[in-house]
Structure 1
């Protein structure tokens, strides 16, 4: 049995609600919007879910390229930059005052309030381009982990040869799950999923660390490492080188959540990277769970890869929900009289209760998931694709906009000491991002020259 209402839930979430005689005020914030239920724990879980991806398992490979000196130093430096700019961004959630000012509910709203319309549009291109790229990357990574479970069992049964598989069926499975989860109306309903995903990320990171330590403890274990990274020509060629409650103030809670999230991820990144490099040396695989740096115990490898898949199921939604919300808000504003776009149907499901169903949301989100899965099938290159996404999004979203908004909000005097060092930081990070992007593009181009789409391949 279903009932209908004219405005969909995603639309109401962004439209103030007028209350009569105070009825229902307990369910709404002081600005008339749906009451926010975020806490320090859920905010930290969202950050950890978004930041600790399965890319942590490729850090051994990354440090192998840079060596013992530059690898950990760069990792620590960019962790500190991310934490610093995150604290600047937290103060911009409300404007002009970081505690009592008007709330900005999206990143683009923050940029618009502090920097103006043109930079708001540029931010939108960078932000949503990054979100789309990440959802494609997560589809690739989750399917690789699922396929690794099948290969692990085959290797255990038949030895380390003759086990070939395709990632494409697993991409279809992952996309099917995402189509269902994508019907969750909005980001506020995802806290439980982020907490589960964060637990999974700790689990597989811990397994990876334990296996690396075990490999280091093996009798006769010896691998080649260096202070400056992989050498030429033996190893490689020269060219291959949340939304929160109002009390306490949101900016203070978000700063604490950023500190917890960044410190936690940095700790795991450093451990996985350094111990993985110590275990595998300059021959570290791109992902030492799916690239089979380990074959046994096979059941533990299977469990770790299952945790990766579960984590990425949740992480996909963390990055996809802002895309969904943006398109749905725009559509509601563009076609406010369309029942297909704005009508919410209240449908009763057995054992679940009443659930909101919107036909536009159902169709659009399903199409989005299918498109990202198809693109993922055409570009299944884990390290280079993730590297390109990170390089393209890091500078504008993590460095440039937070620093520029802080300068504007704090009204820093041009050419003052603080203004100068913030500008130097911005330009230094831009140079590093451009170099990283160039390397990832080169890697993708090289992979494309040798890859045949939809061909079943064996990975060792």
Structure 2
């Protein structure tokens, strides 16, 4: 096992780093103990990455989710997911190094962590769950960004022609524009150079969350308390019995998606400086991220539900929950689009890194894959360009955009992604690796309650997935290409 880990570790040493350089005092200032360029991440940058990953399009659907679940189950589910997410993220943070959480060998990806602690077929299961989820998130963010971009056009249309006009716009041109931006940004070589983009995206997420919260409060004060209930939408009045059941399941999936960042936690932790220990910094960053987002979620979800009641739209900024002031709605939707530009990169860079590292390992002599070319760009200086990176990343963005054009359904897609990723990546693997790392005896008290948490979350994820699949099937049957979702 140790020999395999050392072999894998050597694959990640930067090409420019020689043994002599690593042994020199000067080189030690520029490189970490594994031969990689010295990491400079802090709790601030890690928290920014987390907030960028967590406070995303999910916040916009929480009023709808609470409308399905009601005042009792809605906030309870929100708080339960936040607690479980934080708890398992602390377990996952301790697995970054192996065998010990402070002085062990680094693991650069979620799959590496699972390989070190569990091994066997679980590594392939982890890769399937993680990268499948990351692809799904990229598709979901493309859909959401396009809806927000189109919402700007619709908002101005409503302001000009009146609220009774349908103002239908196609999402496809907006998806194409978003894809063009991502093709350019995807040439950023790796996760370590994304800090500035995450900070900008985090600021945008706070901005549109505050706007949505403020508009909900204004609506609540102006129009009074809308029709709400302890159990949410009323069977026989708002929905049928079967719709109530399926929508409740789907709402759970939406809330699960709203806390999805475990898929990139290890990659975020790999950007941190080694002192203080990465696991301690990551736990603090996770606490800051989860507490911050939970406060926003409870406020946006509860106040949004109070403002709109059981008729809450699936996305209260593009639904159309608000029409005026139109310029503020426009600004909020622009903030959403800018945020999702950064969030897309946070969730997609691990895929890029995985494919490129595996390709360079398999074909180390292929210059198309490994060669870096210095290109001078006006106002940007000299950039390192890799032809394989340019071609494959461009194709990836185009393919995910085409899939988004085929399935442009906001709430159902979010619910399905959340349900599919929450259990394996946020709960199952962190708990299993903690049990293996801490050598917890089988059938002991600690082992039993950890397993109960895991099994319960598995059932919840299956229920949420069923609701989202049913919702997607329903949307596909009634889909009209030029209707904004």
What TM-score does the superposition give when structure 1 sets the normalisation length?
A: 0.95
Is the Cα contact below 8 Å between 2:12 and 2:36 reproduced in 1?
Answer: no
- Cα deviation, 1:301-344, whole Å, max 9, x if unaligned, reads 00000000000000000011000010001110111111100000
Unaligned runs of 5+ in 2: 1-10, 245-267
Q: Does 1:191 align with 2:217?
A: no
> Which residue of 1 is the match for residue 262 of structure 2?
none
- Seen in structure 2, the aligned counterparts of structure 1 residues 70 and 40 have a Cα distance that, compared at 3 Å, is same
> Which residue of 2 is the match for residue 456 of structure 1?
482
> Which residue of 2 is the match for residue 332 of structure 1?
360
Within 2, Cα distance between the matches of 1:344 and 1:31? 22
Runs of 4+ displaced beyond 4 Å: 10-17
> Which residue of 2 is the match for residue 233 of structure 1?
236
Q: Does 1:202 align with 2:206?
A: yes
> Which residue of 1 is the match for residue 422 of structure 2?
394
> Which residue of 2 is the match for residue 18 of structure 1?
19
Within 1, Cα distance between the matches of 2:455 and 2:113? 22
> Which residue of 1 is the match for residue 251 of structure 2?
none
In the TM superposition, residue 117 of structure 1 has moved relative to its aligned partner by 2.6
- Cα deviation, 1:60-82, whole Å, max 9, x if unaligned, reads 00000000000000100110000
Within 2, Cα distance between the matches of 1:188 and 1:253? 16
- Cα deviation, 1:161-209, whole Å, max 9, x if unaligned, reads 1411000000000000000000000000000000000000000000000
Within 1, Cα distance between the matches of 2:303 and 2:468? 24
Is the Cα contact below 8 Å between 1:19 and 1:25 reproduced in 2?
Answer: no
In the TM superposition, residue 397 of structure 1 has moved relative to its aligned partner by 0.2
Q: Within 5 A, what are the aligned runs for 1:20-419?
A: 20=21, 22=24, 23-160=26-163, 161-218=165-222, 220-241=223-244, 242=268, 243-419=271-447
Unaligned runs of 5+ in 1: 1-9
In the TM superposition, residue 12 of structure 1 has moved relative to its aligned partner by 5.2
Within 2, Cα distance between the matches of 1:111 and 1:381? 33
Within 1, Cα distance between the matches of 2:433 and 2:444? 16
Within 2, Cα distance between the matches of 1:74 and 1:362? 42
Is the Cα contact below 8 Å between 2:63 and 2:304 reproduced in 1?
Answer: yes
Match of 2:453 among 425, 430, 433: 425
Within 1, Cα distance between the matches of 2:120 and 2:15? 20
SS of 1:27's equivalent? coil
Is the Cα contact below 8 Å between 1:133 and 1:389 reproduced in 2?
Answer: yes
Within 2, Cα distance between the matches of 1:254 and 1:397? 17
Is the Cα contact below 8 Å between 2:70 and 2:228 reproduced in 1?
Answer: yes
> Which residue of 2 is the match for residue 6 of structure 1?
none
Within 2, Cα distance between the matches of 1:104 and 1:339? 27
In the TM superposition, residue 350 of structure 1 has moved relative to its aligned partner by 1.2
Within 2, Cα distance between the matches of 1:42 and 1:364? 28
- Seen in structure 2, the aligned counterparts of structure 1 residues 17 and 255 have a Cα distance that, compared at 3 Å, is farther
Structure 1 vs Structure 2 CA RMSD: 1.4
In the TM superposition, residue 292 of structure 1 has moved relative to its aligned partner by 1.2
In the TM superposition, residue 458 of structure 1 has moved relative to its aligned partner by 5.6
